Structure 1
Amino acid sequence: MSTEYHGGPVIETVVQVALLALLAYACAHILSPFASLLLWALILAVTLNPLNRRLAGALGGRRGRAATLLVLVILALIGTPTVLLTTSLAGDVVSGYRAFEAGTLKVPPPRDAVAAWPLIGPELHAAWTEAAANFSAFLTEHREQLRSIARWAMGAAGSSMATLLFFTGAFIIAGVMMAYADSGTGALRRLCCRAAGEERGAQLHTLAVATTRSVAAGVVGVAFIQAVLFGIGFLLAGIPAAGLLALAALVLGIVQIPALVVTLPAIAWLWLGSEHGTLANAALTLYFLLAGLADNILKPLLLGRGVEAPMPVILLGALGGMVTSGLMGLFTGAVLLAMGYQLLMAWVDREAPAAGAMPGTGRGDA
């Protein structure tokens, strides 16, 4: 009986696969601290690349110069006011916390209209009046609660600055990606084709790009438009902290929470606490209601446009991804669900072999 061992090629293949898996794990571990930054930069680059392409055409095809100019303009238009607002907010929080610790913090008395606010008005007015009349006693009675709030505010201010620096770096990296968009797009397309086949891989690559841009326009873009409309209305109405309320409207719009959460308190303040006339209050109320309904018109126009997947699939993917993975999941969830839908439909629509046909022959028995 022969005892010759023929398992050499199998062992060699197993060793090669294990080494490749180890190399892939090591590379992923090295890049893991930058994964979020690179993924956000990729999302921004995919979203802004059409604009960069048009700008490059106006500059004689210079993609690098166009990408640099685009990033600088975006940072100037969005980053500058954000830096000023964040710095001012952080400064106010730090000053308030120091005054609180030193016991020199003073609270102005509330207006009488605060007591007319629904639900919380009387209790808030009473506590506010007590704090304004004798803040030392109020501080002694509620010191631990106020200390916790102050520390939370300090942490929130620091987190805002870190987020601002993070997105600044993401925009800069996105500019580099847009400068080399042609080679990067070709590499990603080849990777998709290698993984899913020539035809299906190209379709999935196109679907991922279109879904990312669709979510940026249909979710983030619509939320930004609504926040701007609300901010203009808050300023016209003279509502306190109009900028913070507009920022809250932006965040709520991204997570798909109804705009009534912002508009109803604003409308209540108009009729209960403002000094405008009846006609002005009615006009502003109508404006807030129309601005709150803007997403019902804009979202069907923008979300899912140019994507070979139904709008509910994109929206469910965006919301589910955001619940499970945060703001980044807004994009990754929509892309993954759209790809899954396309693959499922391709499998469902695939023609079954003819009845009686032998597998691999394409015909029945003769």
Structure 2
Amino acid sequence: MDNQSQHTQSTQFVSNMMESAIKIGLLIFLISWTYDIIKPFVIPMLWGGIIAVALMPLTHKLERLLKVRRGLAATFLALLGMVLLFTPFIMVSGSIFDGVTHSLEMLQSGKISIPGPTQRVADIPVIGDKLFEIWSLFSSNLEKAVLHFLPEIKSIAAGMAGVIGSSLATLVMFIISLAIAAGFMAHAEVVSAAIANVAVRAVGPNAKAWTNLTAATIRSVLLGVVGVAFIQSMLVGSAMFVFGIPAAGLITFVVLIFGIAQLPALIVVLPVMFYVFATKDTTPATIFSIWVLLAAVSDNVLKPMLMGRGVDVPMPVILLGAIGGMLTAGIIGLFLGAVVLAIWYELFICWLNNDKVAESGEVLVSVNSDS
């Protein structure tokens, strides 16, 4: 009888295991299939959420100022963002196209002439002699110089074409993200309630505090990264326009992109400084160099001032998260990395405080027992 009972239990156990394995396998298959379906929309949805969180205070202000429905205010901001994205892209693309067309026409006509370098170029430390030699070759015998550096020119042209193509794809992605952000902002209460329910279900009673921390961190990173990049590009661009540097608008735009990507603006500024010293008098070249150098390193002062505002997390934690996230996951990692590190910091502080509370409780018990 015992053997029969054990056999029945064993058969039931195997049957339950098989049934559970089949259910888990079907669930994994369903999750994997669902992810493959929504994968193209994950990044735009994340960007849409980030943009919605960042622009929600502005949407509330616009809604109260214009006395319109939130949907109209959100749509207006989304359309304004699309215009702000399209305008510089069209201007820069048109400038590049016109420049390439003009250069090809000049090359075909044989009328192109490049001024030779001055002795000050050769006096530049480390790279002066090599730069003087290459510049002289292009100014004296352009055809020979082009043939000599043809592989490098092809690789640069291919790189520029790739950058323009990826920029166009990124622009389309941001337009989709702005449309998604407008939908999130128009139905903010419903979306917030759904996120709060999921967060409470996942992490418990601390979910509300962490969702508020996430929103504040996103706004802080937006201000400390995009805001600082915009201010820095304006400072550099003002010097470019004041001193009449060729392609000043394009250089300003590149500085903005470098700032958002957390790359040093000196990469863009230093070649322009060499050009100015080679083509202008010493006094204006010195003034220009001091101006753009201060502008290029201004992010070291602006980031501590702007990043971390409104957040209890220390600025170095957010800055490390933003830079580390950028290196790991690209531009979107700026926000995700900062949020993840901020939440881990709050967890760590909570763990420390719990230990302190426990120790104080033990001390209190021992004192009471002694009394």
> Above 0.5 in TM-score?
yes
CA–CA separation in structure 2 for the residues paired with 1:325 and 1:77? 25
Please give the alpha-carbon distance, in whole angstroms, between the structure 2 residues aligned to 1:293 and 1:11.
64
- Tell me the equivalent position of 2:180: 173
Alignment correspondent of 1:360: none
Show the 5 A alignment for 1:252-267: 252-267=258-273
C-alpha distance in 2 between matches for 1:293 and 1:125: 28
Equivalent position of 2:143 in the other structure: 136
Q: C-alpha separation between the residues in 1 aligned to 2:279 and 2:144?
A: 29
Q: Could you list the runs of 5+ residues in structure 2 that have no partner in the other structure?
A: 364-368
Q: Distance in 2 between matches of 1:152 and 1:138?
A: 20
Deviations 1:80-122 (A, max 9, x none): 12222124325645786x779x977775313434861624444
- Aligned-partner Cα distance in 2 for 1:9–1:234: 74
Provide closer, same or farther for how the CA distance between residues 244 and 121 of structure 1 changes in structure 2, counting only shifts above 3 A. farther
Give secondary structure in 1 for the equivalent of 2:8. coil
Kindly indicate whether residue 69 of structure 2 is the aligned counterpart of residue 65 of structure 1. Answer: no
Q: Retained in 2: the 8 A contact 1:90–1:157?
A: no
2:339 aligned partner? 335
* Alpha-carbon distance in 1 for matches of 2:108, 2:146: 8
Offset from partner CA, 1:5-31 (integer Å, 9 cap, x none): 253666655544443333222211211
**Cα RMSD, aligned residues only:** 3.2
Corresponding residue for residue 161 of structure 2: 154
1:232 aligns with 2:230: no
The verdict on how the C-alpha distance between 1:104 and 1:129 changes in structure 2, with shifts beyond 3 A counting, is farther
Count of residue correspondences: 352
Q: CA deviation at 1:56?
A: 1.6
**Is the 8 Å Cα contact of residues 116 and 136 (structure 2) preserved in structure 1?**
no
| Structure 1 residues 1-366: aligned runs within 5 Å | 1=2, 2=5, 3-5=7-9, 6-7=12-13, 15-90=22-97, 92-93=99-100, 107-113=112-118, 116=121, 118=124, 119-198=126-205, 200-275=206-281, 278=283, 280-281=284-285, 283-350=287-354, 351-352=357-358
Give the 3 Å change call, closer, same or farther, for CA 347–14 of structure 1 in structure 2.
Answer: farther
Moved more, 135-144 or 340-349: 135-144
Following superposition, the deviation at residue 136 of structure 1 comes to 3.5
CA change 1:314–1:114 in 2 (3 A) is farther
Distance 1:248 1:29, change over 3 A: same
Q: 1:132 to 1:261 in 2, by over 3 A?
A: closer
Q: Deviations over 1:340-361 (max 9, x none)?
A: 11112212221338669xxxxx
Distance change in 2, residues 1:265/1:155 (3 Å): closer
1:311 to partner: Cα distance:
0.8
What TM-score, normalized by structure 1, do the two folds share? Answer: 0.83
Per the TM alignment, residue 65 of structure 1 is displaced from its structure 2 partner at its CA by 0.6
Unaligned runs of 5+ in 1: 357-363
| 8 A contact 1:131–1:138 mirrored in 2 | yes
| Equivalent AA in structure 2 for residue 64 of structure 1 | G
Percent of aligned positions that are identical = 38
TM-score (normalizing by structure 2): 0.82
What is the deviation of 1:42? 1.7
More displaced stretch, 300-309 vs 11-20: 11-20
